[in-house]
Amino acid sequence: MARVTIDLPERFSFRTEVPIYIGHINYGNHLDNVALLSLVSEARVRVLASLGYTELDVEGAGILLADAAVRYRSEARHGETLVFEMTATGFHTYGCDLVYRALEKATGRTVAEGQMGLRFFDYRTKTKVPVPEAFQRRFP
């Protein structure tokens, strides 16, 4: 099976720190893969909030998650803090990719790299809508 590849940018436009709680840990005594996606979702909400948006209102459009890919690079443990670096790339008519890197704060060790395909959506009419230009301009 071919491995997932994630093309990370040279520069990320956003950083946030998220602690790892005991509930994020699995039977192997490290960060559970499902918990990582939950932490990534928290970071995504913070990115949007930092820009004055919510998942239901990005310049009048909502967003939904179309796909997700992750490359796990090292274990993370209870009590550590992850630093998520994120930015939007790969814009097209109806969406973009939100790419990220998760680093362990104290050591800088890379824990995971990933991307989420975002689609812009009108929840009222249940139809996809174009990427708001003002949103796209916020990402170099």
Is residue 9 assigned to a domain?
no
Q: Please say whether the beta carbons of 109 and 51 come within 8 A.
A: no
Low-confidence ranges of the chain (pLDDT < 70): none
Q: What is the pTM of this model?
A: 0.93
Domain that holds residue 63: 14-137
pLDDT tens digits, residue range 17-47?
999 999 999 999 999 999 999 999 999 999 9
pLDDT number for residue 1: 78
Look at the alpha carbons of 114, 15, 81, 18 in this order and tell me if their dihedral is positive or negative. Answer: negative
Quote the number of domains for the chain. 1
CA distances 19 to 2, 15, 77, Å, are 32, 13, 10
Q: What is the CATH number of the domain that holds 38?
A: 3.10.129.10
